[in-house]
Structure 1
Amino acid sequence: MKVMIIGGGKVGTYLANYLLSEKHEVRLIELRPEEKPRILLDVPESVIYFGSGTDPDTLEAAGIRKMDVVAAVTGIDEVNLVATSLARFEFMVPRTIARINHPKNAWMFTEVNGVDVALNQADLMAALIAEEMSLGDMITLHKLRRGKFDLVEEKVAPNAIASGKKLKDLKLPDQSTIVAIIRSGELIFPSGDLQFEPADEVLAVVHSSQKKDLAKFFDRVI
């Protein structure tokens, strides 16, 4: 995958370093040439382009027309919005991602303005805290289909509803499926006759609206 990152701050350089380690092709755009020594600690010089992420000529020189994704992650919301809008409407980049620094600006970061995915740090933190408080021991591992479905993990409590019962006998939420069980370090792919045991680690895919309902089967009964 070819990814252009707008903003060579801590977030941008970390993201570039990670994507490079995963064998993706990366271009990093940074406005301030004086930041070069710091950026070079994490990113090779060959992927760095100095200039404004809102300047079409800079974006063109960095190869934006060949990119699959543009991620604007500067500390300035206006720059991130303009950069993603240019990427989408001027250069027809298939996928755009923008960082939101100030929650009051979130309303502008929409698909109409060229943003496919808006990362609002305040909202993400608030949602994470609320989720951790409401889901007991269930952990969300990954968001699927733009957040509609989640890959979750939970350990079966000794007195949980599911403990000692077979999968086929449980009326789990209709928008959920058990993907695998980890038991004593062994991976088990479940069948209807699988019987849950205490301390089983359950991996499941579930609609975001049904996570609480699924968690009730594996949580400790008070």
Structure 2
Amino acid sequence: MKVIVVGGGQVGTYIAKALIDSGNTVTVIEKRAASLTQLQTLFPIDCVIAGDSTNPKVLEQAGIVDADVIALVTGADEMNLVTSTIAKFEYGVPRVIGRVNNPKNEWLFTAEMGIDIKVSQANLLANIIIDQIDLDHMVTLMRLNQGDNSIVQATITQHSKLANHYIRDISALNDTVIIAIKRGNETIIPKGDTLIKVNDHVLAYTGIDGGQLFA
């Protein structure tokens, strides 16, 4: 499949790598200079497009005319929605997947806005983290890819490598994506400037050694 990933942050980078490893043709669109620099060290130059995904010329440069899927995973709901509308109704992309960052905006992610599939991190967290789970220990909730990758839940202790660090500063997260954080009664959709605190309940997608981050 030919896939366009819009957003080259932590989530977008992980998705792009996984898709390429699965044999797909992937192009990543990113407009932030810092993220572009990192992407260009990870992927071939022709797989990374610099620009704003709401600009049709940028989308065409990324190959949207014959794309099978576009995944909109930026941290800005408004950008994901505008791009989804252009992708679906101007270029007829068969499958448009949109990331919902703010749960209050979830109602906007509909077929009328060009979204075929919406992914809400907050809802994923709410549906998985339930009172019956023992939050004092790391829990493996789902194993993926024949056991090499997992969705795990863990409580951050004062000894954890993640404690009191901003997500953007944690180099060990190369093979781990923080999906959501539960802090008291608050559900947090993590971004680069999110500070992970002691006693946070973290939901993460990680590789086989990812559990060491929570030790």
The two structures have a TM-score, normalised by structure 1, of 0.58
Equivalent residue for 2:74? 74
The answer to whether residue 117 in structure 2 is matched with residue 117 in structure 1 is yes
* Paired residues of 2:85 and 2:114 also in contact (CA < 8 A): yes
* Paired residues of 1:96 and 1:117 also in contact (CA < 8 A): yes
Match of 2:42, SS state, is coil
Question: Residue deviations 1:162-205, cap 9 Å, x none?
Answer: xxxxxxxxxxxxxxxxxxxxxxxxxxxxxxxxxxxxxxxxxxxx
Q: Partner letter of residue 85 of structure 2?
A: S
Equivalent residue for 2:10? 10
Equivalent residue for 1:85? 85
**Corresponding pairs, count:** 139
Identity fraction in percent: 42
d(CA) in 1 for partners of 2:132 and 2:6?
A: 32
Report the aligned-residue RMSD: 2.2
Structure 1, unpaired ranges of 5+: 134-138, 143-222
Structure 2, unpaired ranges of 5+: 134-140, 145-215
* Paired residues of 1:13 and 1:43 also in contact (CA < 8 A): no
d(CA) in 1 for partners of 2:86 and 2:131?
A: 35
The two structures have a TM-score, normalised by structure 2, of 0.60
d(CA) in 2 for partners of 1:132 and 1:94?
A: 40
Cα pair distance change 1:23/1:131, threshold 3 Å: farther
Q: Which has the larger radius of gyration?
A: 1
d(CA) in 2 for partners of 1:39 and 1:83?
A: 21
Could you tell me how far 1:5 is from its partner in structure 2? 0.6
* Mapping 1:211-222, distance limit 5 Å: none
Question: Residue deviations 1:20-40, cap 9 Å, x none?
Answer: 111100010001234332113
Question: Residue deviations 1:7-55, cap 9 Å, x none?
Answer: 1111111111111111100010001234332113332222000010111
Q: Partner letter of residue 59 of structure 1?
A: L
